[in-house]
Amino acid sequence: MDTQSTEIPSTEAPSPAEPRKNQLWREIVELGQSLILGALLAMVLQIFIQPTIVYGQSMEPNLHDQERVILDKVSYHIGTPARGDIVVFPVKGEPLPLIKRVIGLPGETVEVRDGRVLVNGVALREPYVSGPTVGNMASVRVPADTVFVMGDNRAPGGSLDSRRLGPISLSKLVGRARLAYWPPSNLGILGNGVIR
């Protein structure tokens, strides 16, 4: 006669190590997800914006040496610069990128006469400069796909810009300065006429 044995389910509680192991695994997964999300966000931000530092006095009185600004790196891929934009671009032979203001657009003529900048023969209203533009410059036509840039500091030797470099190719523009963020006392949006 066969005897069947019936198994009695164990009433033993799971070992205390088991819940700790599950909790540790969950925390590792959550940390991994956070790190991946953070890395993706950093990559996306790097594609669209870039922090940069202002070097020198060429953009005074609006931007100062060692001031920090945020560049918008997308605008000029989907549109074109506007007069008054503050742009950053590299220059061969210069160790650091330059930051200047767009003065002349493709097809326009730019001239400096008697302390004033003329675009297409009309004196440009420049609320962002603190004094006259020193020196004269004969009329220059801005070629297609370039811009004529100048620093806001128009004193002698105040800015290395298109008066010496010539017009700057649009393809060289790294981006447009949109926001000043350091030092905190200078925090503000950088518009065409500098709003802070």
Which residues have a catalytic role annotated? 58, 100
SS3 of 191, please?
coil
CA 47 to chain centre: 10
Question: In the numeric block, which tokens belong to residue 135?
Answer: 């020196």
Phi/psi-derived region of residue 163, left when phi > 0, alpha when psi is between -120 and 50, beta in every other case: alpha
Closest CA to 120 of 134, 137, 133, 107: 107
Closest CA to 84 of 194, 167, 175: 194
SS3 of 5, please?
coil
| DSSP conformation letters of 40-80 | HHHHHHHHHEEEEE--SSTTTTTS-TT-EEEEESSHHHHS-
